[in-house]
Chains A and B, each alone.
Chain A
Amino acid sequence: MINTVTESSAAPILSVRDLKTYFFPDEGTVKAVDGASFDLLPRTTLGIVGESGCGKSVAARSILRIVERPGRIVGGAILLQQNGSQVDLAQLDPQSQEMRQIRGGDIGLVFQEPMTSFSPVHTVGNQIVETIRLHHPVSTQEARERAIAAFRSVGIPKPERRIDEFAFELSGGLRQRAMIAMALSCGPRILIADEPTTALDVTTQAQILDLLRSLQEREGMTIILITHNLGVVAEMCETVVVMYLGRVVEEGPADAIFHNAKHPYTQALLRSIPSIHSTARAELPTIAGSIPHPYNRPAGCPFHPRCPDFMPGTCDKAEPGLTVVGDGQAVSCFLYDRT
């Protein structure tokens, strides 16, 4: 087990250790998350990036223990710091009172699709008031006032009126703000934002990211930002975790990842971002091949069939472990494995 951020003064608020979440459909086993480890430092933003199907969303759902059947956590630990003690969320019963208090109470979730994330037949206020009353012993009236305050804090105009509207009456940007207000209504210490800006247009995206940043400064919140958009990561995150096929291939401070990426996959990802300095009409580099089918995981390093630095006899034989390569930076690649 490698602790990549020992240099940091603060202890992590959440530590994911060797998390394994597998799905067991009739056709076989899908290792959606296969031994992922990362630390979340208080008051920072951790970005989890990767292509579709790399397991980043499943990792987030595993933390909240809302992985749906036929998936379940088969190994590893999710250690949450709570009033000086440590709870292993992976060991809790997902239905237990304790886990339900953590869900929504300690850890909030914001989804990609703000339209469908609200019930189509309940007002947004109804759902926020419900959440508040679930976690705090307050009257409906009091909860409603808190909900209005939450709406105000995320910059929704006329919160007293908006609160009684349905999700389909709000614009996309307002809807995502309402979603964030709902996730924050119980004052969680950790906010998991799963592709929070993907469904929004670019100007609204920028506003939502600004909002998240200012909320973090104001409330001292810790954020896990899940995205495939490296631009968003560069703008928002202190720490970055790059995932590929359920495994963490590289992690470290955002600066190191963007300017000194070690893993061939991370390097390829960064090359495939269009740049304003590149020649016009030049072809954008892409990563060769495509993600293997989850039932057909390659042996050895899962990235080796697409890797430009593939070393026959090494990469297809064993899986590399995370190796520390710099200040807080670790990579799982045999190029850097000195053992």
Chain B
Amino acid sequence: MLAYLVRRLILAILTTWAVSVLSFVVIQLPPGDYITSYIAQMSSSGSFVSEQEANALRQQYGLDQPQYIQYIRWMKMVLQGNFGMALEYGRPVAEVIGDRIYLTMVVSVAAIIFTWCAALPIGVYSAVRQYSWGDYVATFIGFIGLAVPSFMLALILMYFGFTLFNANIGGLFSDEFAEAPWTLAKLWDLTKHLPLPALILGLAGTAQLIRIMRANLLDELGKPYVVTARARGLSEGRLIIKYPVRVALNPFASTIGYLLPYVVSGSIIVSLVLSLPTVGPLLLKSLVAQDMFLAGTIVLLLGVMTVIGTFISDLLLMWIDPRIRFEGRQ
């Protein structure tokens, strides 16, 4: 079991390294660099950047070096906890990302919790009462949830929120708290604003998980161990929760890994629409500006989150499924 964990951990570290290389390469892929887009931006606003100025800037940021040197310099900085300068903002990347990364995690976790809390009972119900009226309703809503883009849903909800309740449902904070230091009141304000983005971001995943749970549970319900449990005199509700649902839970645990980055990267447009202070919009802006340090850091963070998520789901799977636990032993 320990060997299994160590192996997973080593794999996780290797994956993180690969992610860092990939994120660096991906950021460098578009033609030109930050200076090119800086010049374009400047000339569109009427200013002019001379060749010397541009070269001086390139030298200053190390953009004139070969790529692998740039990568090594970047990695050196990252390992020391310095993520470089956000070129466009002229401030350290860490400062620009700042609270946003935590808020992103809060929103993502809220979305995932919503997904689980909704998908688990509905999926179980759909399977146990297959082809019932309720199953059809859940399936219908599920497919709608899958088919409707979440930014669309956000717009619709905002429209109704505004016309019916005269409430602005965007953002994560009320105006008076947006720039305020962290207090209990601000935390409460955040809690009040969370459910809606969580619902919007979680709906597609919920629909997906309902289908997965339903299909898995349907497979399990006919297994002999369920019939045996019934033949031992267990009541229907108790036996379904204890046996087939428990086995069908595996995919739930394994989804944590990809759910985290999925929610983050899938939330860019929704975050823009709802003006959520998450890293999504920041990533979009930095990519447009070819701000390699900022974009690279965000992509790297997403990658690390995926790796951590996968590691957590590995641990969870080990906990809920003894067959995995014993794999390492044999």
Query: CB within 8 Å of B: which residues of A?
Result: 61, 64, 66, 68, 95, 100-105, 108-109, 111-113, 116-122, 127, 130-131, 134-135, 166, 168-169, 179, 182
Alpha-carbon distance A130/B225, docked complex (angstroms):
14
Is the C-beta of B326 less than 8 angstroms from some C-beta in chain A?
Answer: yes
Is B30 positioned at the interface, with any CB of A under 8 Å from its CB? no
- Nearest A residue to B226, CB-CB: A119
Residue of chain B at shortest CB distance from A99:
B233
Q: When the two chains form their complex, are residues A104 and B243 in contact, meaning their CB atoms are under 8 A apart?
A: no
Within 8 A of A (CB), among B235-288: 235-236, 242-243, 246-247
Partner of B236, one of A95, A104, A118, A122: A95
Which one of B224, B232, B243 contacts A134 once the chains associate, using CB atoms below 8 Å? B232
- Least Cβ–Cβ distance between B224 and chain A, in angstroms: 4
Judging by beta carbons under 8 Å apart, are B224 and A120 in contact? no
Partner of B321, one of A101, A116, A121: A121
Q: Given that A119-B247, A120-B323, A166-B322 are contacting pairs, would A134 and B223 also be in contact in the complex, using a CB cutoff of 8 Å? A: no
Check if B224 sits within 8 Å of A111, measured CB to CB: yes
A119 touches B225 (CB 8 A): yes
A residues within 8 A CB of B320? 121
Q: Are B224 and A117 in contact (CB under 8 A)?
A: yes
**Given the interface contacts A66-B227, A117-B225, A121-B322, does A104 sit within 8 Å of B233 by beta carbon?**
yes
Given A119-B243, A121-B246, A135 and B326 contact (CB-CB distance below 8 Å): no
Report, as a range, how many residues of chain B touch the other chain.
20 to 34
Q: Which B310-326 residues have C-beta < 8 A from chain A? A: 320-323, 326
The chain A residue sitting closest to B249, CB to CB, is A121
B232 and A104 form a contact (CB under 8 A): yes
Q: B49 near A: Cβ within 8 Å?
A: no
Chain A residue nearest to B233 (CB atoms) is A104
Q: Taking CB as reference atom, which chain A residue is nearest B230?
A: A66
Closest 6 CB pairs of A and B: A104-B233, A104-B232, A109-B231, A103-B233, A100-B233, A116-B224
Q: Given A116-B224, A118-B225, 15 more contacts at CB 8 Å?
A: A66-B231, A68-B227, A100-B235, A111-B224, A116-B223, A119-B229, A119-B246, A121-B246, A121-B321, A127-B229, A130-B234, A131-B232, A134-B233, A135-B233, A166-B323
Q: What residues on A are CB-neighbors of B228 within 8 Å?
A: 109, 111, 117-118, 179, 182
Chain B residues 4 to 39 lying within 8 A of chain A, measured CB to CB, are none
Tell me the complex Cα distance, A117–B234, Å.
15
Residues in B with CB closer than 8 Å to A61 are 227
A-B contacts, 10 of them at CB < 8 A, read: A64-B230, A66-B230, A68-B222, A100-B235, A103-B232, A119-B246, A121-B321, A121-B322, A166-B322, A168-B326
Q: Which of B229, B235, B246, B326 contacts A166 (CB 8 A)?
A: B326
Binding site for A on B (CB under 8 A): 222-225, 227-236, 242-243, 246-247, 320-323, 326
Q: Considering the chains assembled together, what is the distance between the CA atoms of A95 and B234 in angstroms?
A: 9
A186 to chain B minimum Cβ distance, whole angstroms, is 8
* Nearest-Cβ distance from residue B21 to partner chain A, whole angstroms: 39
What are the residues of chain B within 8 A of A169 when measuring CB–CB?
Answer: 326
Residue among A113, A117, A119, A168 with max Cβ neighbours from chain B (10 Å): A119
Whether B234 pairs with A100 at a CB distance below 8 angstroms is: yes
How near does chain B come to A172, taking the closest CB pair, in angstroms?
14
The answer to whether A182 and B232 have CB atoms under 8 Å apart is yes
Q: Is the CB of A101 within 8 A of B231?
A: no
Contacting residues, chain A, for B321 (C-beta < 8 A): 120-121
Most buried by A among B225, B320, B323: B225
In the bound complex, CA of A112 to CA of B322 (Å): 23
Complex CA gap A119/B326 in Å reads 15
**Residues in B neighbouring A111, C-beta threshold 8 A:** 224, 227-228
Q: Which residues of B contact A119 (CB under 8 A)?
A: 225, 229, 242-243, 246-247
* CB nearest neighbor in B for A168: B323
Alpha-carbon separation in the docked complex, A66 to B222 (Å): 12
Q: Which residue from chain B places its CB closest to the CB of A96 in the assembled complex?
A: B235
Report the minimum CB–CB distance from B217 to chain A (whole Å): 14
Q: What are the residues of chain B within 8 A of A105 when measuring CB–CB?
A: 233
Chain A nearest CB, measured from B129 CB (Å): 10
Q: How far is the CB of B206 from chain A (nearest CB, A)?
A: 25
A127 neighbours in B (Cβ, 8 Å): 229, 232
Q: How far is the CA of A100 from the CA of B233 in the complex (A)?
A: 4
Give the one of B223, B232, B246 with max A CB within 10 A. B232
Q: Give min CB distance, B179 to chain A, whole Å.
A: 50
Q: Which chain A positions have C-beta within 8 A of B323?
A: 120-121, 166, 168
Pairwise interchain contact A64-B225, C-beta atoms closer than 8 A: no
List B contacts of A182 (CB < 8 A): 228, 232
With the chains together, A207 CA to B236 CA distance in Å? 34
The answer to whether B231 touches A103, judged by C-beta atoms less than 8 angstroms apart, is yes
Least distance between B248 CB and chain A CB atoms (Å): 10
Partner of B231, one of A104, A112, A116: A104
Nearest B residue to A106 via CB reads B233
A134-B322 in contact given A118-B228, A121-B247 (Cβ < 8 Å)? no
Give the nearest-CB partner of A26 in chain B. Answer: B131
A116:B232 contact, CB within 8 angstroms: no
B224 touching A113, Cβ below 8 Å:
yes
Do the beta carbons of B246 and A64 come within 8 Å of each other? Answer: no
Nearest A residue to B235 via CB reads A100
Please give, as numbers and ranges, the residues of chain B lying within 8 Å of A113 by CB-CB distance.
224
Q: Which residues of B contact A102 (CB under 8 A)?
A: 233
Q: How far is the CA of A166 from the CA of B225 in the complex (A)?
A: 13
B130 to A, closest residue via Cβ: A69
- In the complex the two chains form, what is the Cα distance from A131 to B141 in whole Å? 39
Q: How far is the CA of A113 from the CA of B223 in the complex (A)?
A: 10
